[in-house]
Amino acid sequence: MSKIGKQPIKIPAGVTVEVSTDSVKVTGPKGVMERHIARGVAVKVENGEVLVSVHGGGKQMMSLHGTTRALLANDVNGVTTGWEKKLELVGTGFRAEVAGKTLILTVGFSHPVKIEAPEGITFKVEKMIVTVSGCDREVVGQVAANIRGVKPPEPYKGKGIKYLDEVIRRKAGKAAAKTTGAA
């Protein structure tokens, strides 16, 4: 058995979990999440907890056991508190603004870059920080990665779009390399 897979998921107040033959539907105050369950994995709700088990053994079943439990825990957390990623714009003249469900980035190109928010995702901009939030962890992470991909941070000056907690490894420029190499 998987160490993570055998841990129960506590269902908080205001959240309902409905199990059908091949899917699980989690409903809460922030939204509704539906997850397909792989064949060989069983999910049941008992005493306010979600329990995940597998039929049969093998390496693939053990990995599906832990993965399914982690995905369901992410869904329960998403419909109660939600998920968010924060990105920081570093660079002179870099700006971001929200117009409806569209994020407009001005990051040194000849044109502004527009990013549409998928269903269930919201953008918020405060100074130089863009917050991507929603109830689906996978979609929030993918949208944040797409925004970062518009202008990834470069290693010489550190300009670009980076995650708020990301550390950019800086390189020495040509001038610094010349002075240290001459002996």
Question: Residues 17-41: pLDDT tens digits?
Answer: 999 989 999 999 999 999 999 988 9
Looking at domain 9-80, its CATH superfamily turns out to be Ribosomal protein L6 (3.90.930.12)
Give residue 176's pLDDT: 67
* Residue 145 pLDDT greater than 90, yes or no: yes
Does domain 83-163 fall under CATH 3.90.930.12? My reply is: yes
Question: How does 153-173 read in b/e, with b if 16+ C-beta sit within 10 Å?
Answer: beeeeebbbbeeeeebeeeee
pLDDT in tens, 36-63: 999 889 999 999 999 999 988 788 888 8
Give residue 6's pLDDT: 86
Fold matches, 9-80 and 83-163: yes
Give the start-to-end residue ranges of the domains of the chain.
9-80, 83-163
Work out the percent of the chain whose per-residue pLDDT is above 70. 95
pLDDT in tens, 99-127: 999 999 999 999 999 999 999 999 999 99
What Rg do the C-alpha atoms of the chain give, in angstroms? Answer: 22
Give residue 93's pLDDT: 92
CA distance 72 to 90: 36
Residue 181 pLDDT class (50, 70, 90 cuts): low
Element (H, E) at 98: strand 95-99
Determine contact, residues 136/83, Cβ cutoff 8 Å: yes
Question: Measuring CA to CA, which residue among 90, 104, 98, 100 is closest to residue 151?
Answer: 90
Mean pLDDT (the chain) is 91
Q: Which residues contact 10 (CB under 8 A, 6 or more apart)?
A: 48, 49
Determine contact, residues 142/150, Cβ cutoff 8 Å: no
